[in-house]
Chains A and B, each alone.
Chain A
Amino acid sequence: MSAAIESISSDIALESLKALQVGVLILNSDYKIVYCNDWITQRCAETIGNLVNKHFFETFSNLIDSRLDTIIRQALQEGMSGIISASFNKSLLPLYAISMTDEKRRKQIKQMVQVKAIQKEKGERYALIQISDMTNALEKELQLREQADTISRLVNIDHLTHIANRRKFDETLQEEFKRAQRAGNSLVVGVIDIDHFKLYNDHYGHLQGDRCLEEVARCLQNSLKREHDLVARYGGEEFGLIMPASTYEGAIKFSEELRNRIMALRIRHENSPTDAVLTISLGLAYIQPQAADTQEILLSSADFALYQAKHLGRNKAMIYSLKNNELSECI
């Protein structure tokens, strides 16, 4: 290794350093810049002028007490190598993309900085600072991440109402059921149906019907208070509700609140035999799942409660407790 290096003259080594496509700065133990390659000069703010022989922290005084300050000191005083990643540290040295000639529009380069102590025998310690331009890599990765994120969100969102869709509902129910089983917590699942929605559509038309679904969905979504509660469009005019670790009483109170809030929207429904405004019926099921229980039992119990709510005249919430196999009206 050392033989190979010795075979290059120091002139060639210096020329190579000068032409390197990463930024190189070398500081002596007094923090004076003793070397700076072309990569840096080409990207450095012109107002700073020639860097060589300047004190690093007098020139870049905004970097005093920064992470870069720490690792330069660690390198010069202790011989430690340090890196600064581009993602945590928003701006480091005032370096700008070469193509940007317009001063106002030029963008600061996102930098990854590596600092290493260089010392020959027991001589003076120098800090070798290498700077890589991460701007493009970082932007491209962020773009890809955002796209991946958007796709995964879209997969779980109902395109009409913009709340969670059935797929998200099924996934969440499965997760929460297992979690409740493991932790010995309770779980409440609800199915919500808009009363006489077919009559609404027939009377007001499908476009208005869609708007009505959007409004109901928004109202249900905005009524959620607990972080892990979920409301989803289950299909047609049906919505699903998941309330992890909810108490029986809490679920009753919340279902009444939902029913009242929908009525308070005062969406006119002239042909409804139930009321002059749009109403909903709710069926809830409460469980503290044991090992033998399944989420299908929970969901069909909620369906049963909804059926009973409709049977008893609609605009009602019924709850079925799987703990004592009891069906009650939510009042």
Chain B
Amino acid sequence: VLIDLSELQRDALGEIFNIGVGRAAVSLSQIVDDEIKLSAPVVEILARPQVIEMLRANTTGRLSSVRQDFHGALDASGLLIFPEINAIEIVRRMVGSDLTPEVFCEYESEAMSEVGNIILNACVSSLANMMNISLDSDFPVHNTGDYHSIIPDSPEMPVILLIHIDLIISKQNLNGNILFLISVKSLQSLLDYLDQYLVSQGLV
């Protein structure tokens, strides 16, 4: 059974994640000395099969993902997913390399972990700050594969918070997604925190 977000909740979450990715964009831009823009236009709550179906409709081919787990007031697994060609493009543009082989090598994989680390930490940190809760994180892990192998099928965390993101580097738009896998209990807590936040902002 999935919980529908009210329009207000959806807007608030969207705003929180937009602040997060905005900060991540500043950090990423500092690394490359070039402007990187990031926006998170859509937030949805879905189940794994729906997410896979939806994402597969937009991209085929291999994917690159960075996974990072978060604990504290909420327990969640964060995933940053890009089509592999986009991920390679991001890293190559950031490293300033024009080398050709179309696969990730070790140091690019490590670089992608850093990109994921920056984006996921910024999102979670924004969420924690706004809701005045404490969340800590584990180290990021980079993986490649298809949606089935990349998105863990975890009975404890059946709910997915799906955030579409657009990353613009050197005028090129490379889209990807952020997924937070959470338990039903954590989702309920998240919505409670969200409602408290809306009340504190005088929006409810």
A contact set with B: CB distance below 8 Å: 67, 70, 74, 78-89, 112, 114, 116-117, 134, 137-138, 141, 144-146, 148-149, 152
Contact = CB atoms under 8 A, between A and B. Distances in A.
B100 A83 contact: no
B125 A78 contact: yes
Contacts of A152: 100
Nearest to B107: A87
A319 to B, nearest CB: 34
Interface stretch (B11-19, B81-89, B134-142): B134-142
A81 B95 contact: no
A116 B106 CA distance: 22
Given A80-B125, A116-B139, 11 more contacts: A67-B30, A80-B121, A81-B117, A81-B138, A81-B140, A85-B114, A87-B95, A87-B108, A138-B107, A141-B107, A148-B100
Nearest to B116: A83
A145 B99 contact: yes
Nearest to B28: A88
Interface residues of B, number: 33
Contact of B101 (A83, A85, A148): A148
Given A70-B27, A148-B101, A112 B110 contact: yes
A167 to B, nearest CB: 15
A145 B139 contact: no
Contacts of A80: 121, 124-125, 136-137
A35 B107 CA distance: 29
Interface string B100-128: 11000111101101100100010011001
A83 B31 contact: no
B198 interface: no
Interface of B: 27, 30-32, 68, 72, 91, 94-95, 97, 99-101, 105-108, 110-111, 113-114, 117, 121, 124-125, 128, 134-140
A156 to B, nearest CB: 11
A73 B95 CA distance: 25
Contact of A88 (B72, B94, B105): B94
A81 B94 contact: no
| Interface SS of A by simple majority | mixed
B32 to A, nearest CB: 8
Contact of A83 (B30, B106, B108, B114): B114
Contact of B121 (A74, A88, A138, A145): A74
A84 B99 CA distance: 22
- Give the 8 A-B residue pairs with the shortest CB-CB distance, closest first: A79-B136, A85-B110, A85-B114, A85-B111, A87-B111, A87-B107, A80-B137, A145-B99
A80 B97 CA distance: 30
A89 B110 contact: no
Given A70-B27, A152-B100, A134 B139 contact: no
- Residue of B105, B107, B139 with highest tally of chain A CB at under 10 A: B107
Contacts of A134: 107, 110
Nearest to A77: B125
A134 B111 CA distance: 12
A242 B137 CA distance: 53
Nearest to A138: B107
A109 B138 CA distance: 26
A27 B149 CA distance: 38
Contacts of B95: 87-88
Given A67-B31, A145-B99, A87 B110 contact: yes
A74 B107 contact: no
Nearest to A134: B107
